[in-house]
């Protein structure tokens, strides 16, 4: 299935891809309609040229396994995943807003109060993920979605590390507050 032809495609006889809303190095994200719930969702599709790389496909599907255990108001919710005809995909809640990277590009430096609000929400989300044993790596403005009301959601757990599966020595991941 050619990636350029995905608009209009229906995945799992459920998710109709309506338009592309973003793209990165590993995947493209589509606005889609979930015909079972009649809600709008986002569907992340692994780029075609990466499908033959078993390690990348495994990591792509591990993203949902890791992130679906997280239930926090400042973390995107993952809903489903699968593979259909060589098309590897993740389904998540659709977030209407702009990435922090887009906001900064459009507006430049944010007022202190607004920046602190977004930073606090992001830190709370990361602290929650850490308590669940998941360390979010590669956090950057492109992975933070700013929503109406100056709310933020952390997205893209594709390169997160499972703390408990990685090491029994949590000291390598956490620095006690007394040492900061």
Q: Enumerate residues 6+ apart whose C-beta is below 8 A from 105.
A: none
34 is catalytic: no
Res 168 pLDDT > 50: no
Q: Please name the fold of domain 97-179.
A: Transferase(Phosphotransferase); domain 1 (1.10.510)
The larger pLDDT score, comparing residue 50 to residue 101, is at 101
- Segments making up each domain of the chain, as ranges: 3-93, 97-179
Q: Choose the catalytic residue: 138, 156, 162, 169.
A: 138
Sign for the pseudo-dihedral over CA of 35, 46, 72, 98: negative
Of the pLDDT bands very low, low, confident and very high (cuts 50, 70, 90), residue 4 is low
Q: Which homologous superfamily is 3-93 in? A: Phosphorylase Kinase; domain 1 (3.30.200.20)
State pLDDT tens for residues 42-97: 999 988 888 888 887 777 777 667 778 889 999 999 899 889 988 889 999 999 99
Please, is 106 exposed, middle or buried when counting C-beta atoms within 10 Å of its C-beta (0-12, 13-18, 19+)?
Answer: exposed
């Amino acid at each position: 299935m050619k990636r350029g032809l995905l608009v209009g495609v229906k995945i799992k006889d459920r998710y109709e891809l309506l338009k592309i809303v973003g793209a990165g190095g590993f995947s493209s994200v589509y606005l889609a309609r979930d015909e079972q719930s009649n809600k709008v969702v986002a569907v992340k599709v692994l780029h075609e040229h990466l499908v033959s790389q078993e390690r990348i496909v495994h990591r792509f599907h591990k993203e949902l396994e890791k992130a679906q255990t997280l239930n926090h108001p400042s973390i995107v919710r993952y809903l489903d995943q699968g593979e259909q005809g060589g098309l590897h995909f993740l389904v998540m809640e659709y977030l209407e807003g702009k990435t922090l990277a887009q906001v900064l590009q459009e507006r430049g430096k944010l007022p202190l109060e607004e920046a602190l609000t977004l930073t606090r929400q992001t830190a709370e989300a990361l602290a929650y993920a850490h308590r669940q044993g998941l360390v979010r790596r590669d956090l950057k403005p492109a992975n933070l979605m700013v929503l109406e009301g100056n709310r933020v959601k952390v997205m893209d757990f594709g390169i997160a590390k499972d703390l408990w599966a990685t090491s029994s020595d949590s000291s390598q991941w956490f620095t006690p507050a007394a040492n900061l």
